């Protein structure tokens, strides 16, 4: 806990909170405008599923980029001031420092996703959606997005700490965003290899095309792909941790 507290202490004045807020505000505005237009065109779309699906697909674009930026901000300060070397020369193990950074970055992003779920609820209520807020679906949406974020940040932290030049990590985040946004177009076999596509895959709602139009369909919780996302997160975290803690400084 001491080390985690230290990570929060170190990111003061980094304005990471404001950045997350602005980033998600843009995403939500975009989503809410899109859903509002969709409802205006087709009143059948005034269902919670439309908001959940649109946000999940938007997260495929925004969250990989936001995760890359947040993780980069948390890790880059150690490169800029040569402080990773200083920390490694203390009696604190590098594995614990690595874990503290991971928890710090993910906690910030989790609060962002939590805020997102709350604003979705508010938006649904304002738009007079047909039913009461679907708490179960919202919880599953939050769990899926969080699990996918865990996997994405595990990869991003590995890159951000192992490679000093953060352009590399940020480019990977942008590439992830591109893949996350277009993942619905890939065949399932390809999609499941690309971790950024799990924002959509672990969403409780999907969209099925039928002739000229489409419908929002609830999809059951897929334990297999949830486990896959968890394993990807674990693999990237373990590989990154082993690499960075053994890296010569």
Partner 1 sequence: MSASAIVQTQSLTKTYAGIHRVNKVDLVVGEGEIYGFLGPNGAGKTTTLKMLLGLIKPTEGSLRLFGQSLSKQRPFILKRTGSLIESPSYYGHLTGLENLRIIQRLRNAPDRNVDEALRIVRLENQKDKKTEQYSLGMKQRLGLAMALLSFPKLLILDEPTNGLDPAGIGEIRELIKSLPGRYGMTVLLSSHLLSEVEQIATTVGIINEGNLLFQGTMDSLRRKSSTSITLKTGNNAGAERLLLTQGYHPVQNNGRLELGDLDDAQVAGINRLLVAQDIPVIRIEEQSKSLEDIFLELTGKGRSL
| Burial profile 118-127: b = 16 or more Cβ within 10 angstroms, e = fewer | ebbbebbeeb
The whole-angstrom separation of Cα 81 and Cα 142 is: 36
Told to check if 213 binds partner 1 by CB under 8 A, we report no
Told to check if 5 binds partner 1 by CB under 8 A, we report yes
Pairing of strands 213-218, 205-210: antiparallel
Among 81, 122, 230, 243, binds partner 1 (CB under 8 A): 81
- Of the chain, the end-to-end C-alpha distance in Å amounts to 25
Told to check if 1 binds partner 1 by CB under 8 A, we report no
- State in angstroms the smallest separation of the CB of 18 from partner 1: 14
Q: Could you tell me if 138 and 117 are in contact, meaning their C-beta atoms sit under 8 angstroms apart?
A: yes
Told to check if 10 binds partner 1 by CB under 8 A, we report yes
Told to check if 249 binds partner 1 by CB under 8 A, we report yes
- State in angstroms the smallest separation of the CB of 169 from partner 1: 19
Told to check if 85 binds partner 1 by CB under 8 A, we report yes
Told to check if 82 binds partner 1 by CB under 8 A, we report yes
CB nearer to partner 1: pick between 89 and 210: 89
Length of the chain: 249
Told to check if 80 binds partner 1 by CB under 8 A, we report yes
Among 87, 127, 137, 143, binds partner 1 (CB under 8 A): 87
Residue 177 contacts by C-beta under 8 Å, 6 or more apart in sequence? 60, 61, 62, 63, 64, 65, 196
Rounded to 5 degrees, φ, ψ at 56 are -60, -40
Among 1, 18, 91, 189, binds partner 1 (CB under 8 A): 91
Residues that bind partner 1 (CB under 8 A): 2, 5-6, 9-10, 12-14, 77, 80-83, 85-93, 248-249
């Amino acid at each position: 806990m001491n080390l985690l507290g230290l990570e929060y202490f170190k990111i003061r004045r980094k304005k990471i909170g404001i950045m997350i807020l602005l980033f998600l505000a843009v995403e939500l505005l975009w989503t809410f405008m899109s859903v509002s237009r969709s409802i205006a065109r087709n009143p059948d779309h005034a269902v919670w599923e439309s908001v959940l699906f649109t946000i999940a697909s938007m997260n495929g674009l925004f969250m990989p980029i936001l995760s890359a930026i947040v993780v980069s901000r948390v890790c880059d300060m150690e490169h800029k001031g040569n402080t990773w070397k200083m920390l490694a020369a203390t009696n604190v193990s590098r594995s614990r420092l690595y874990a503290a950074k991971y928890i710090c970055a993910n906690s910030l992003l989790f609060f962002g996703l939590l805020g997102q779920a709350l604003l979705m609820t508010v938006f649904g209520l304002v738009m007079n959606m047909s039913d009461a807020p679907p708490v179960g679906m919202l919880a599953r949406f939050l769990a899926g997005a969080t699990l996918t974020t865990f996997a994405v940040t595990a990869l991003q932290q590995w890159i951000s700490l192992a490679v000093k030049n953060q352009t590399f990590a940020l480019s990977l985040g942008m590439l992830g965003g591109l893949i996350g946004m277009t993942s619905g177009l890939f065949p399932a076999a390809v999609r499941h290899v690309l971790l950024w596509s799990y924002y959509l895959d672990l969403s409780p709602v999907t969209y099925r095309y039928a002739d000229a139009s489409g419908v929002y369909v609830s999809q059951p919780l897929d334990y297999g792909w949830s486990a896959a996302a968890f394993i990807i997160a674990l693999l990237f975290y373990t590989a990154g941790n082993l690499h960075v803690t053994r890296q010569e400084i």
